[in-house]
Structure 1
Amino acid sequence: MRNRIALVFSFFFTFLAAADLAAADDRTICAQRGHEDRIAACSRLIAKSGGRDALAFDNRGAEYGDKGDYDRAISDFSEAIRIDPKYALAWQHRGAALLRRNEVDRAIADLTASIRLDANNLNALNDRGMAYAAAGDSERALSDYNAAIRINPRFKFAYFNRGRLYAGKGDHTRAIAEYSEVIRIDPTYGYAFNNRGLSYQHTGQSERAVADFSEAIRLLPRTTLAYNNRGDIYLLQGRYDQALADFNESLRNDPQHQSALVNRGMVFEKLGEVAKARADFNAALAAPQKYDSAKWSMDKARERLAALDDTSIKTVPATTTSVIALPGPSSRNDRRIALVVGNSAYENVAALANPARDAALVAETLKLTGFDSVTLLTDLRKDALTAALRDFARQAEIADWAMVYYAGHGMEVGGVNYLIPIDAKIASDRDVSFEAVALDQVLNAAERAKRLRLIVLDACRDNPFANQMKRTMTLASRSVSRGLAAIEPEAGTLVVYAAKDGEMALDGVGRNSPFATAFVDNMRKPGLEVRRLFDVVRDDVMEATNRAQKPFSYGSVSGRQDFYFVAGK
């Protein structure tokens, strides 16, 4: 009998030991992010506890969240909070899941509750900063990121999101500094390279942008963003084979990436493969809107489909839909560079319809005429416009031709001409020098080019700032005229206005302004010398506008040399 009892107890303790081991294994697996059996292990723990294991609910919710099942995730986090209302991590996790479901107000409430329970919760501060940013409250977002960095100066995610905040405000110089700090802390964080590349691109530093996107691709081989972003630069540079390869790789990683579909469609359009282009634009419209670029993608896809379907629009030159073979430039020994800017999306006055489209059209045509480098930038804030000019000035030092084309708002105050960035707030004449970029800065950016400095300004539109500005007592003598003021640039520099000084330029009724249309049409004509070219542009614009608009040229170029966009046959 004694042996039988011993045997029974032996089996009993062996059973308990096995049960304890199984429970320990479940606890380990339940806490292990991404484990294939994590949800099952957490579920077993919940069942064994009679539904009272807050940690298991939280861990299972985290796994559901990682899989994108936010409904189940939020349900599990809510159970964890019900069991233990002081469970700070569960409040944070539910807040993060609500944020990913775009329930911003509820997310802020949960994250605030988490921070009350644990003031040093870096992730809760960071997540609440993102929620405030999503709600448009950049000051509170910045405060949360700063608080997280004060607690831990090496917390890379707060630097990263602070960079995103600055980039969203158009302050790409500060954004680059934030992303660089992330990379200093963690050189393997590929997303920082991707985002810094975007800010480099916005400031006109294309080579640095490509380098950063390439590093992001090396660190994140399955990325879709960095491939798409690098392909976008190749597309703008006319390197269609490389662009197509990058967009294909982006779509291999995510076949529903709207921006990559639209960009690949535009490559097909450039190559004349209209059926493929149309298929990509339609696929973009049908894809889920899960990236920040969703609105741009939808708008651009509709725009391109309309352009492909509407052959009646005569103001769109063929260069927007196909590559046209043109004779080479007048000399293969000269280096030609161009900065092309189109400002349409003004934040404090009504947007302009054509400048961004005009800039894209001019940039594409310049590439076809043989320019070595064409940087196309649209909707620039002041810091970005200044940075782009600074970068262009460095490039101009080794260039023979340096050309700047600007489309957007411009104005003259007290005899000084200004280009207006999209974020300008001009309440009085005193604000202009702080909010806008003087034309002298544009001239200075091109002045080091050896042979030809060409500034083309389609910036003489009716400017809404001029009517709303207050005149200050100390500056009451300053004039604020219609259009731009006449200038006298140095020899070797030609400045072309879309409308003569003091007069207004028109946006026209088509997809491009009368001036941009005439400019690209004549730029493509072989053997048309640059001075003669702008005489013809003037005549074409006057004819198209019934003499309501007269382009005008200022300055002079060397009489000992002829300059051609496209050489004669």
Structure 2
Amino acid sequence: MTAPSGSISKNATAYTGRGETNRLKGDLEAAIIDFNRAIEINPGAALALVYRADARRYVGELDRAIVDYNAALAARPDFPLAFVGRGLAHEKLGHIEQARQDFEKVTGLNPYQYDTSAGALRTARARLAALDSGAPQPVIPPAPKKAVNQYSIPTPDVVSTPAAPPSPPQKTVQAEKPRPKASASPGRRIALVIGNSAYRNVGALANPQKDAEGIASSLRRIGFDDVVLAVDLSREKLLEALRSFADRAEKSDWAMVYYAGHGIEVNGQNYLIPVDARLAADRDVQFEAIPTDQVMAALEGARKLRLIVLDACRDNPFAPQMRKTTVPVVEASGRSAAGDRAATRSIGRGLGEVRVSGASLVVFAAKHGQVALDGEGGNSPFAVAMIQRIATPGVEINKLFRLVRDDVMEATAGRQEPYTYGSLPGEDLFFVASN
């Protein structure tokens, strides 16, 4: 007896969803088994085909991934995710013209047709800009089929290099809308780069100091005028560094803070954790940590760009020892509610979403509510992507952070997704302009 089409679709969807859950756990073998089952039930399930193709691409099975992307496009000829995924697989294989054609195809599709279309379009435009730059593209090793550690992944050793001179750009088939004119000179650019590794009251972190050193070196190589590197800062030292940086930001065009270390979200506010923090109770955060609003305030004098980059979205190591306290429930009128009712302070997973205005960007190594992974090769996957991409010439800053996002997604098999908050009005800005 043939099952009703509705139940077939439902079963395929269930296997697809479980496959995605397994992928997010780092178990790509189990994910592919689930996608296989979904496709057996419904051979035309374009989303399951793309997800299986992505999983195969992550583990280095590039030819098989392309077969799946082709099947997805046969079922859904206008599917942006399939074009982007196939382009990424072609790029890894060195098939640059085929990759370019796939990315260009996305720029001609309706960006509102699917929920994922806008993201696919941003990726396609960023990849085209990277290919046009003439700079060598990072080599990202295949992800393990099954993660050994839920909190870390293997990462390669990286060395920051100066910006490579670009080869003549190749024209793309689909032209973008006219963009704001780029400034001839970026002006004075300064950065405060912080790496907190040696925590005194919880275990030390392996990556932040090396990450900060690599980022600072990269910024100096691409021409930042003033880069201050600071490691293992206590609360007093962190406040002192921000106060000094605020004075210099008033005389600068770009002001950037990069922070690697522990961060925490409490009651909707994000905090950076100094190395001397104890955090015996949740209420101690406001006294022992530094709110990110205070970091943003240190940049507000910069004329063109205020940029905060946070590789601080790790699991909260203080949680096991942190005593939960309560706060009085307040009525809508502003008066305390009657009785003994109380609310516990909420402590989020990772960092919380932020609101950004003006010429400002806040970049998280992992989007709100998600935990960033540590790297087993000395640097975090996010820092590796930053160091490898920051010297790419001629790639506008929003596109550059899209490339960083895509590189981290590739390296972590989609388990970690960096996220950028804010947008930049006016002229395009570049870490390294085209020659």
Q: TM-score range by the shorter chain?
A: 0.5 to 0.7
CA 431–333 in structure 1, closer or farther in 2 if over 3 Å, else same: closer
1:513 to 364, 380, 391: 380
Max Rg structure: 1
CA 378–465 in structure 1, closer or farther in 2 if over 3 Å, else same: same
After the TM superposition, which residues 94-105 of structure 1 pair with which residues of structure 2 at under 5 Å, given as runs?
none
1:477 to 341, 344, 355: 344
Report the Cα distance in structure 2 between the residues aligned to 1:333 and 1:496, rounded to whole angstroms: 20
Look up the match of 1:378: 231
Report the Cα distance in structure 2 between the residues aligned to 1:521 and 1:482, rounded to whole angstroms: 28
2:279 to 426, 439, 451: 426
Alpha-carbon offset, residue 333 of structure 1: 5.7
Report the Cα distance in structure 2 between the residues aligned to 1:530 and 1:397, rounded to whole angstroms: 22
Alpha-carbon offset, residue 326 of structure 1: 4.9
Report the Cα distance in structure 1 between the residues aligned to 2:155 and 2:415, rounded to whole angstroms: 20
More helix by share: 1
For this pair of structures, how many residues does the alignment match? 253
Look up the match of 2:87: none
2:423 to 556, 559, 566: 556
CA 557–430 in structure 1, closer or farther in 2 if over 3 Å, else same: same
Deviations 1:530-561 (A, max 9, x none): 10011111111011001110000111111x21
Paired residues of 1:326 and 1:566 also in contact (CA < 8 A): no
| Matched residue type, 2:305 | L
| Matched residue type, 1:568 | S
Look up the match of 1:457: 310
1:442 maps onto 2:283 in alignment: no
**TM-score, normalised relative to structure 1:** 0.43
Report the Cα distance in structure 2 between the residues aligned to 1:388 and 1:491, rounded to whole angstroms: 24
Look up the match of 2:159: 318
After the TM superposition, which residues 105-504 of structure 1 pair with which residues of structure 2 at under 5 Å, given as runs?
315-319=156-160, 324=162, 326=164, 331-332=184-185, 334-474=187-327, 476-504=343-371
CA 454–349 in structure 1, closer or farther in 2 if over 3 Å, else same: same
Report the Cα distance in structure 1 between the residues aligned to 2:284 and 2:244, rounded to whole angstroms: 25
Deviations 1:396-425 (A, max 9, x none): 001000000000000000001000000001
| Matched residue type, 2:345 | R
**TM-score, normalised relative to structure 2:** 0.56
After the TM superposition, which residues 4-43 of structure 1 pair with which residues of structure 2 at under 5 Å, given as runs?
none
Alpha-carbon offset, residue 520 of structure 1: 1.3
Alpha-carbon offset, residue 314 of structure 1: 7.0
For the residue of structure 2 that corresponds to 1:405, the secondary structure is strand
Report the Cα distance in structure 1 between the residues aligned to 2:183 and 2:157, rounded to whole angstroms: 26
Paired residues of 1:327 and 1:567 also in contact (CA < 8 A): no
Which has the bigger relative contact order, CA under 8 A and spacing at least 6?
2
Report the Cα distance in structure 2 between the residues aligned to 1:438 and 1:397, rounded to whole angstroms: 21
Report the Cα distance in structure 1 between the residues aligned to 2:351 and 2:409, rounded to whole angstroms: 18
Report the Cα distance in structure 2 between the residues aligned to 1:353 and 1:414, rounded to whole angstroms: 28
Deviations 1:431-471 (A, max 9, x none): 00111001011000001100000100000011211332111
Report the Cα distance in structure 1 between the residues aligned to 2:240 and 2:399, rounded to whole angstroms: 33
| Matched residue type, 1:338 | A
Report the Cα distance in structure 2 between the residues aligned to 1:497 and 1:330, rounded to whole angstroms: 26
Alpha-carbon offset, residue 524 of structure 1: 1.1
Alpha-carbon offset, residue 316 of structure 1: 2.6
Paired residues of 2:307 and 2:362 also in contact (CA < 8 A): yes
Q: CA RMSD in A?
A: 1.9
Unaligned runs of 5+ in 1: 1-312
Paired residues of 1:527 and 1:566 also in contact (CA < 8 A): yes
Paired residues of 1:337 and 1:371 also in contact (CA < 8 A): yes
Report the Cα distance in structure 2 between the residues aligned to 1:430 and 1:478, rounded to whole angstroms: 8
Deviations 1:74-112 (A, max 9, x none): xxxxxxxxxxxxxxxxxxxxxxxxxxxxxxxxxxxxxxx
Alpha-carbon offset, residue 331 of structure 1: 4.2
Report the Cα distance in structure 1 between the residues aligned to 2:237 and 2:248, rounded to whole angstroms: 17
| Matched residue type, 2:423 | S
Unaligned runs of 5+ in 2: 1-153, 167-181, 329-342
Look up the match of 1:524: 391
Paired residues of 1:340 and 1:404 also in contact (CA < 8 A): yes
Report the Cα distance in structure 2 between the residues aligned to 1:364 and 1:468, rounded to whole angstroms: 37
Report the Cα distance in structure 2 between the residues aligned to 1:424 and 1:492, rounded to whole angstroms: 32
Report the Cα distance in structure 2 between the residues aligned to 1:429 and 1:540, rounded to whole angstroms: 35
Deviations 1:283-316 (A, max 9, x none): xxxxxxxxxxxxxxxxxxxxxxxxxxxxxx9723
After the TM superposition, which residues 41-80 of structure 1 pair with which residues of structure 2 at under 5 Å, given as runs?
none
Alpha-carbon offset, residue 325 of structure 1: 5.6
CA 556–350 in structure 1, closer or farther in 2 if over 3 Å, else same: same
Report the Cα distance in structure 1 between the residues aligned to 2:326 and 2:389, rounded to whole angstroms: 47
Report the Cα distance in structure 1 between the residues aligned to 2:402 and 2:186, rounded to whole angstroms: 27
Look up the match of 2:432: 566
| Matched residue type, 1:425 | R
For the residue of structure 1 that corresponds to 2:319, the secondary structure is helix
For the residue of structure 1 that corresponds to 2:344, the secondary structure is coil
| Matched residue type, 1:442 | V
Alpha-carbon offset, residue 499 of structure 1: 0.2
1:547 maps onto 2:414 in alignment: yes
Paired residues of 1:334 and 1:401 also in contact (CA < 8 A): yes
Look up the match of 1:280: none
For the residue of structure 2 that corresponds to 1:364, the secondary structure is helix
For the residue of structure 2 that corresponds to 1:339, the secondary structure is strand
More strand by share: 2
Report the Cα distance in structure 2 between the residues aligned to 1:393 and 1:386, rounded to whole angstroms: 11
